[in-house]
Structure 1
Amino acid sequence: MKDNFKNNEQTSKNDDYIICSCGQKNEPGTQLCISCGRMINEDYDKKKIQDVMRYDGSAVRSKVRNKTIIDKIWNWFASIKVGVTLIALTAIAAAIGTIFPQQYFIPVGVDPSIYYKENYGALGELYYQLGFHNLYSSWWFIVLLALIALSIIAASIDRGVPLFKSLSNQRVKKHPSFYSRQKINESFPAKNLNLKDVESQLKLQRYKTRQDQGHILAEKGRFSRYGPYINHSGLIILLIGSMLRFFPGMYVDELMYIKEGDRKPVPSTNREYYVENKKFTAENYDASDGEAFQQAIEKSQGMIAKNYQTDLTLYKNTSAMLGESDELKKVDEGSIRLNHPFKFDDYHLYQSSYDQSQMKTMTFKLIEKSSQKQIGQPFEVNLDNPKEHYTINDQISIDIKSYVPDFKEISSQGSLVSKSPNTINPAFVFDLNEKGEESEYSFIKIKEAKEISEGNHYEIKFDGMTNHMATILTVKKDKTLPFIFTGFIIFLIGVFIGSYVNHRRIWLNISDDGQTLNLAAHTNKNYFGLNKDIEKMATQLSLHKGVENNVDD
C-alpha cells in the first residue's frame, strides 16, 4: 500500500481549512486527518509520532496562529515555558519571604519600618521597602498568582479543547498509513476469523468497541487523557481560594491585645462585636507535677506552660447606624484555652500568648530630705488614667504637671516625648506644693530621679508597681477553605487519574482477501500493559504473529 503525501491529489488547502484526500475538512495546523488518520503535514515522520498523537494530530491554536495582538497575548499565556517561569518566580519570592519573619510575627504595636532596620540592618530595611514583610498580601504577589491562573487556563483551553474534540469524534476506519505509524503495528493470519470474536475478547478486557465496514476500534481509559486538565482545574480553584483571601470579609487573621478588665472591638467586624477580658490565667508546671516535667522545668528555669486561659464576654453592638454611640448587648461568654478556641458567627478566637510587660500602677512615697522620714502615706498613680492631684496631708499636695507612658527624651521645648502609648517606661514631672513654701519640681522615671527646682526639701521616691495582665488573642475567619479543600481534592483526583489510568486504543481490520488481521495500538503510557492485552486476545483466539504490516510512506 502506498500513500504519497507529497502528491497534490492527497490534500488541498485554503485559508480556512485543509481538505484531506478522503474529503474531510481539517483545521489549519492539523497533523493527522481526523477522519482517516493520514499524515497531512509532510514535515512530520515516524520519529515524531508521539508528538503527533499527544493531541491526536489536532491543531493547537498557539502553534498555528500568531498574526494579531490577541494571538500573541494568547500564545504568551498558553506557553508552557511562561507558566513554568511564573511558578519559579513565585516560588523564589515565597522563599525570600521566609528570610526574615513576616510582619504578623513581630511584636504587637511595633513600627515595622523601625523593627526591620534595627534588628536586621540595611538588608532588613530593603526587605521592608520591597514589601517582603507582608509578602502574601502584597499587590505584586497577588498579580503573580493571577498570572499563573491565567497561564493555566490558557494552556488548558489551548490544548484540552482540541484533544477533547479529536477524541470525541474518532473514526473507526483508518488509512493503512495510520497503522504503520503506530508504535505497535502487527499482523496475524486470519483465515476464517470472525471480527465478532475479536470484539468479544476485547470487551472481556473492558474495552469499549465500535465497528465500521470491517474495522474495529477498541478503547478504554480515555478519561485519563484529561488527568492534567483536572489537575489544572484543581490548581485554578486553589489559586482562586488564595486570592479571595484578599477580599474584605473572606479572610481574617489578626491579633487582639486586651488588658484584663478592658473591652475592645473584634478586628474586621466593623465594631459589630466586642470582647471583654474578664480574667486571664497563666499556669506553669512545677516540681509537684511529677518527675516527667522535672528535667524540662530545670532547663527552662521553671517556666513550662501548663495552661493559658482567657475568660471573656462577647458583646454585640446594637446601634442602629454607624457612628452612633455603641450600644452593647451581651450575647455570650466563655473561656479560651490553648487549642480550644471561642467561636461565634464565622470567627474563631484562639489563645496566642499573653503579656505582663505593661505597667498598671506605680506607687510613690514622699521623704523629707533632712530627716529621711516618710511624710504621710504613699500615693498610687493609675498609669492608664492618672489623676492630676494627690493629697499627702493637710499641708502638702502633689500635682502631675507632665506624664508620658514610654519615655524617649525631653524635647527642645522642655516637654516629655513618648516612644509609644504603651506603659513600659513611664516618666513624670511632679509639682510639690507646701503651704507657705515655693513649689518644688521633680523629674521621676524608673531608676532615675532629678530635681528640676533648686533647694528642694523633699524627694519623691519610687515605692512599688503593679503590671497589667494582658491576653493576646488570634482572630481567625476563613471563608476560602471550601475553595482550597475542593481544589486540593480535585487536584489529587487528577494526579491519580493521570498516574494510574492509561488510555489504550486498538485498531483492527481484516484485509480485503480475508487472510490477514491488521492491528495497530497506541497508549499514552505503559506499552507493556497494552502488549499484554493484545497477547491475551491473540492467545484466546489462537492467533500467531505474522510480519509487521509495513506501509510505504
Structure 2
Amino acid sequence: MERFIGLISSVRFGVVLLCVLVFLSMIGMLIVQQNVNGFDAYFASLTPAEKAVYGALGFFDIYHTWYFNLLLLILSLNIVLASIDRFPSAWSYITDPKRVSTPEWLKGLKLNETIQVQNLDRAEVVERICRSLSSNGFTPRVTESESIAYPTDEQGRKDFSRTIKQRSTTIFGERGKWNRIGAYLVHVALLTLFLGHFVANITGFDADVQMIPGDVSDKIQMISIDLDKREKYDVQLPFTLACTDIEQKLIDPREGIGVANTLDWRTQIRIDDPEYGTTFADVSMNNPFSYRGFRFFQAEASRMGSARSIDLDVRSEISGTTHRLTIPRLGNATLPDGTLVEYDEFLPDFTFNAEGKPDTRSGDYNNPAAVLSVTPPAGERQRVFAFESGKAENIPVGAPKAGYLWRISGYEKVPFAHVLSIKYDPYSGAFIAWYFGGFGLILALCFVFFFSHRRVWATLQSEENGKFIVTLGGDANRNLSAFESSFVKITESIKTEFGLFTGHSRIEN
C-alpha cells in the first residue's frame, strides 16, 4: 500500500499523466468533434476503417470518454496526495524559517562573502547590518546564540583538551516567503480547472444551431457516434428560440461577406419562455448571451450571400412615376395605390437550374435578384423578380408585372444564415474552469516563476584582538542567478556602512 501511494503521489507519475492528457487533448483538436459545425463533411471524408477505429476509441467525442475523465480523476488524486506530502515542509519555510546559521554553513552556499570589522562594538555592527538589509527590502531579525569551539595554536592545530564558549549573532532577512506555496496555488488552479471541466461535461452539452431569420424551434439537434454509426437526436429546449434578424458589419460594403472584410456578426434572437416570458437578445462576436444556463456564441456564418434589406425602384406603367421602397428581410411595404410588396427571397447570383426554375449559381453577388410577392388591391398574389438596372431588360423574367417595372437600387449584404454555438452549463462548470481555474492558473504560474523566496544571513563572530568576522550568505529557491546581483548590492551596502566598499566586490563559490 505504501509503494502504491508513493507511486500515485510522485511528481514523476503526475507529469506522465499530464503529458498523456495533453496528447489526448491534441487528438481532440486534430479530429473534428461531433456537434461541431463541419463535422458532417469531415465524417463523410473518412474511410470506413477510420470511422470504425475513431468511433471505437471515442475520438469523435474524446472529452466525454470514460478514460479521459478517469485520467483527470487520477491526476487530481496525484495532485492532492503530492500536496499533502510536501506542503508541511514548504509551510515550515514560512512559519519556522532558519534564523540561526554558522560561518561554515554560509561558506558552503554559492553566494557568500566574508568581511572584517574593527573599532566597533557588537551592537553597532548589528545595527549597521540591519540598516543595510532594511534599505534593500529585507526585514532583519536578530538571533543570539552560543557555541563551543576549540582553541588553535600558532600552526592552526586545534587543542581538543580545552573548550571555549563563543557568542554568535545571526541577522536573518527574507523576501517573498509566500512564493514557497506558489506550487500549491498552481495545484489548486489545476484542480479547479479539472473540476469545472468535469462538471461542464457531465451536466451540459455543446451544439451548433443554424439561425435563419424567420425560423422558430424548441429543439436542437445533437449527434451520437457508436463505432462507425452516426445517429442524430433532438434535445428539447425549455423555451422556443426564434431568429428575428442577422447583420454583418463589413469593412468595405462594396466587397463580399468574407471574414477578411468583416468587423462583426450580429444575430438577434427571441426567446419565448412559458415561465419567464419573452426575451430579446443580440449575440455578436464579443458579446455572448447567457440565459438559464445556456450560453450563445457566434460560431460561423454561411457563405451564401443574402440581403438584410433591399431598396427597390418601382416604376408605374400607367403614370411613369417611380416609387422608392425599402423592405427588410421578412418585411413588406405598400405602394400608394395599395399594392402590397413582400420580401420573400434573395438570390445573389441568379440563374435557371436544370429544371428551368430560378436558382443561384453561387453565393457571390454576381447577378443579384430579389424574389417578391406582390398583391394588387383587387388582384391575386403574384411572384415578381427584381434585378439591378440593365441586367434583365431583355428577358421575360425581368419584364413588368402587376403594372410596375421592378428594379433593385441597393441592398445590405448579409449571409443567408448565422451559426450559433450553444453551450448548456447549468452549474457554471465552464465558468469555474476558465475564469477561476484558467486565469487562476496563469496568475499562479506567474507568481511561481517571476518571483522567488530570497534569504540572506549575516553571522557575526568576535575575535580576541577585538575584531569581528562577518560572514554573509544568500540563497533563493529559484532564479539564483538573478538573485546574485541583489546579493552583490547587499554586500556592497554593508561594506559601505563600515567604510570598506572600494567599488569592487566578489562572490565566492
Q: Deviations over 1:367-413 (max 9, x none)?
A: xxxxxxxxxxxxxxxxxxxxxxxxxxxxxxxxxxxxxxxxxxxxxxx
Aligned to 2:422: 475
Aligned partner of 2:176 among 215, 218, 221: 221
Q: Specify the SS of the correspondent of 1:216.
A: strand
Q: Is 1:502–2:452 an aligned residue pair?
A: yes
Aligned partner of 1:197 among 128, 151, 164: 128
Closer, same or farther: CA 501–95 of 1 in aligned 2, 3 Å: closer
Aligned to 2:194: 239
Closer, same or farther: CA 79–505 of 1 in aligned 2, 3 Å: same
Deviation at 1:135, TM superposition (A): 0.9
Distance in 1 (CA, whole Å) between partners of 2:262 and 2:129 is 75
Q: Deviations over 1:38-77 (max 9, x none)?
A: xxxxxxxxxxxxxxxxxxxxxxxxxxxxxxx1x2233213
Deviation at 1:127, TM superposition (A): 1.0
Deviation at 1:82, TM superposition (A): 1.3
Q: Is 1:137–2:91 an aligned residue pair?
A: no
Structure ranking higher in strand proportion: 2
Aligned to 2:491: 534
Deviation at 1:549, TM superposition (A): 13
Aligned partner of 1:230 among 152, 168, 185: 185
Distance in 1 (CA, whole Å) between partners of 2:506 and 2:298 is 74
User: Which amino acid is 2:6 matched to?
Assistant: N
Deviation at 1:98, TM superposition (A): 2.9
Q: Is 1:314–2:272 an aligned residue pair?
A: yes
Distance in 2 (CA, whole Å) between partners of 1:252 and 1:536 is 62
Say whether the 8 Å CA contact 1:198–1:541 is kept in structure 2. no
Distance in 1 (CA, whole Å) between partners of 2:298 and 2:50 is 33
Distance in 1 (CA, whole Å) between partners of 2:263 and 2:451 is 51
User: Which amino acid is 1:94 matched to?
Assistant: S
Q: How many residues align?
A: 344
Closer, same or farther: CA 80–304 of 1 in aligned 2, 3 Å: closer
Closer, same or farther: CA 543–523 of 1 in aligned 2, 3 Å: farther
Say whether the 8 Å CA contact 2:488–2:506 is kept in structure 1. no
What is the TM-score with the length of structure 1 in the denominator? 0.52
Say whether the 8 Å CA contact 2:208–2:419 is kept in structure 1. yes
Say whether the 8 Å CA contact 2:218–2:237 is kept in structure 1. no
Deviation at 1:166, TM superposition (A): 4.3
Bigger mean CA deviation after superposition, 136-145 or 98-107 = 98-107
User: Which amino acid is 1:346 matched to?
Assistant: G
- Within a 5 Å distance, the mapping from 1:15-414 to structure 2 comes to 69=1, 71-105=2-36, 116=43, 119-193=46-120, 194-213=125-144, 214-248=169-203, 251-256=204-209, 262-264=216-218, 273-277=238-242, 292-294=252-254, 296=256, 312-316=270-274, 331-334=277-280, 338-339=284-285, 343-350=290-297
Deviation at 1:106, TM superposition (A): 5.5
Deviation at 1:129, TM superposition (A): 1.2
Q: Which runs of 5+ in 1 are unaligned?
A: 1-68, 317-328, 358-468
Deviation at 1:122, TM superposition (A): 1.1
Distance in 2 (CA, whole Å) between partners of 1:178 and 1:304 is 67
What is the TM-score with the length of structure 2 in the denominator? 0.57
User: Which amino acid is 2:190 matched to?
Assistant: L
Closer, same or farther: CA 294–315 of 1 in aligned 2, 3 Å: same
Distance in 1 (CA, whole Å) between partners of 2:297 and 2:246 is 15
Q: Specify the SS of the correspondent of 1:98.
A: helix
Q: Which runs of 5+ in 2 are unaligned?
A: 145-168, 223-233, 305-415
Deviation at 1:350, TM superposition (A): 4.8
User: Which amino acid is 1:264 matched to?
Assistant: D
